[in-house]
Amino acid sequence: MRNTIFSEKVYPFVLSLYRWYLRTPERSLEEAYKAALNIRALENEHFNGNKIDFNSPIYSSSVMDYFAADLAQQLKIARMRLTEFRFSRWFSNESNPKAARKAGIEYPTPAAVLEKLRFIDDIISKYTILDDEIAPSEVADSPIKTTNSAPINDKSITYPTNRNEIDRNNLVERTYTPTSPPQIVRRTEQSKRPRGKADTTGVLPRSILSTIGRLQIELDPNAEKDVVNNFRQAQRRSIISIRFILLLIIVPLLTHQLSKALVVGPIFEHFKTAEAEQVFLNSEMEEEALSKLHRFEERLKFENLISNAPPLSAEAIETEVKRRAEEIALEFRHESSNAIKNVFSDIFSVGAFIWLLVVSKPSIMVLKEFFDNVVYGLSDSAKAFIIILFTDVFVGFHSPHGWEVILEGLSRHWGLPASRDFIFLFIATFPVILDTIFKYWIFRYLNRISPSAVATYRNMNE
């Protein structure tokens, strides 16, 4: 009897699970086909059936950002479901169609499958370089005119170290205008190779070549259009970067608060018991509570001695001390529970932060381009000022006090005892390692990219 009841309950579940497994290729193909249909609907509705053009002047940058995000999501779904379709087809064998017919499942005809696959491939093939287009190539780069008005697409843009270099080399390297980011004028395959000293010296003075290049750009009939396009791309890059920075800050904080209030808190309150709940998680909390209680008792006795009111009896003083002890116990019990909740909530926050980094690779590349433009747009004095400020805060003479406050705050946040030995060991090693890495970066990279900034940094540091 028990076996019969068990089979009646389990067999339908196993059968439904087996049917779900058999329908995996069909389900994956259908979802990929729906994603391709969504892309086609986007093209037909907003771009007259043509490929989505991110340089289209019809829509604003915010609208194009929305289209780019929607397109990237649909392409991701289509590619993932196609991969799932291939794997599920690879794991299937000849007995699956027979088992499907026995289970009451009808597979689509091969002609219908091929038609859907052909449609999906036609849609996806239009955007095979979508990641590059949404990233720096679409947001920061565009077809740029050379000295002979030949458009090129160069994704290996290296920005100049300062504005003087832009003014000197705007013919052979790049141009700069106050309303647009640096722009390549002529880049060839030979210019990508490291140039020697002889290659940097021209027959004519660079000022003459610079003047000729500037005149060519000013006489170019498409110069105004290029400036407007560059400004729009720079504006779009700035909006995406600032929005992504805000997401990196807001999403982990919201995840911490929401997980603590909706997930971790209720689970902790459900499983804790009044008998097993600890008042103090570590000895530091206990010492702090005893210190508070001792100060309250001493203050109460002092006020009792100097006040004009009738003196309190020993029983009244003991009652007040007991009441204060219960308040302190409740306060530290809440702090201990809060510290335990913070541990698990921080795990959710770190997970949300990592997930945001994984799914936002195009935004990370755009953010890198944004920071490159901001850093390279600073003067040498500003660069040296930022470097000195950063080093003095994190590895300077007064930095150990800041690290000590940070480590003690983290220990209290997680309910851990603040080990003085660990804090002193951390302060004695980590800032030194950070200072070594930073000096190596200045010597290895900054000295090559902007020697004048390094010289200014040394003069200011002295």
What are the strands, taking DSSP E only, across 63-142? none
Q: Is the pTM of this model over 0.85?
A: no
> pLDDT tier at 185 (50, 70, 90 boundaries)?
very low
The per-residue pLDDT for range 86-110, each reduced to its tens digit, is 877 766 544 455 555 555 666 677 7
Angle at 210 between CA 208 and CA 211, to 5 degrees: 65
> Would you say residue 338 has pLDDT above 80?
yes
Find the distance separating the first CA and the last CA of the chain, reported in whole Å.
Answer: 91
Structure confidence at residue 159 (pLDDT)? 38
Higher pLDDT, 275 or 405: 405
pLDDT in tens, 290-329: 999 999 989 888 888 887 767 778 888 888 889 999 999 8
**Separation in Å, CA 279 to CA 201, 266, 342, 343:** 76, 19, 17, 17
Residue with tokens 């392409």: 75
Q: Report the run of H or E that residue 45 belongs to, with start and end.
A: helix 24-46
Q: What is the average pLDDT across 18-30?
A: 77
pLDDT > 90 fraction of the chain, expressed in percent and rounded = 12
Interval 33-48 mean pLDDT: 87
Tokens of 228: 């407007």
Q: What is the mean pLDDT of the chain?
A: 75
**Mean pLDDT confidence for 186-201:** 43
pLDDT, position 398 = 78
Per-residue pLDDT tens for 62-78?
Answer: 778 788 888 888 888 88
Give Cβ neighbours of residue 221 (< 8 Å, ≥ 6 apart).
none
Tell me: pLDDT of 249 over 90: yes
Candidate from 71-80, 148-157, 199-208, 352-361 with smallest mean pLDDT: 148-157
Average pLDDT over residues 44-55: 81
**pLDDT-based confidence at 111, cuts 50/70/90?**
confident
Q: Which residue has the tokens 């930022």?
A: 386
| pLDDT tens-digit series, residues 253-281 | 999 999 999 998 888 888 776 555 667 77
Half-sphere exposure of 121 (CA within 13 A, CB side): 6
